[in-house]
């Protein structure tokens, strides 16, 4: 069942929308595949081949919205997908981060707390840099939306 971009964006916390500058024009919807959700019930199995756009959004089998951010390390040309997702189906917060590959953004869980604020100020800055400039510096490395 396809969910419209607008309906998914409505379910994403405003602080994430603002930081990443998400609009229906700048994202694509990806349909969940059976392997997206791991045994831990985290959306931690989205692979590079699963996304065709730098920022994609979707809803998993538990009806939780997620944001898949495809990044490229400019120095090593290594790719990764960082997924931000609503932790619980029945609660809009907190939001967690997960990845199948290396976590280029160095997020710890959760990214957003139960109060809707970023766990750490630098998380906000990293997402804001990706939203505004399409790249971010983390621990001496440059990562760009890809």
| pLDDT of 10 | 96
**How does pLDDT run across 15-71, given as a tens digit for each residue?**
999 999 999 999 999 999 999 999 999 999 999 999 999 999 999 999 999 999 999
What is the model's pLDDT at position 1? 56
For residue 128, the surrounding DSSP H or E stretch is helix 121-133
CA 17-121-118 angle, 5° bins:
50
**pLDDT band for position 102 (cuts 50, 70, 90):** confident
Eight-class DSSP state of 123: H
Q: Provide the 3-class DSSP secondary structure of residue 118.
A: strand
Alpha helix ranges (H) inside 4-77:
5-10, 14-20
Q: What is the DSSP letter of 21?
A: T
| Tens-place pLDDT, residues 118-140 | 999 999 999 999 999 999 999 99
Query: CA–CA separation, 82 vs 76, rounded Å?
Result: 17
Q: What's the pLDDT score for residue 16? A: 98
> pLDDT of 106-122, one tens digit each?
987 689 999 999 999 99
pTM above threshold 0.85? yes
């Amino acid at each position: 069942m396809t969910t419209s971009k607008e309906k998914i964006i409505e379910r994403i916390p405003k602080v994430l929308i603002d930081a990443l500058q998400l609009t229906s024009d700048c994202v694509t919807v990806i349909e969940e595949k059976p392997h997206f959700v791991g045994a831990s019930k985290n959306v931690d199995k989205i692979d590079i081949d699963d996304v065709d756009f730098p920022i994609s959004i979707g809803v998993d089998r538990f009806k939780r919205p997620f944001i898949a951010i495809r990044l490229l390390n400019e120095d090593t040309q290594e790719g990764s997908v960082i997924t931000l997702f609503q932790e619980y189906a029945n609660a809009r917060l907190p939001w967690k981060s997960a990845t199948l590959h290396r976590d280029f953004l160095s997020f710890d869980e959760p990214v957003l707390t139960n109060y809707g604020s970023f766990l750490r100020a630098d998380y906000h800055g990293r997402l804001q840099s990706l939203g505004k400039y399409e790249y971010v510096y983390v621990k001496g490395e440059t990562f760009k939306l890809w």
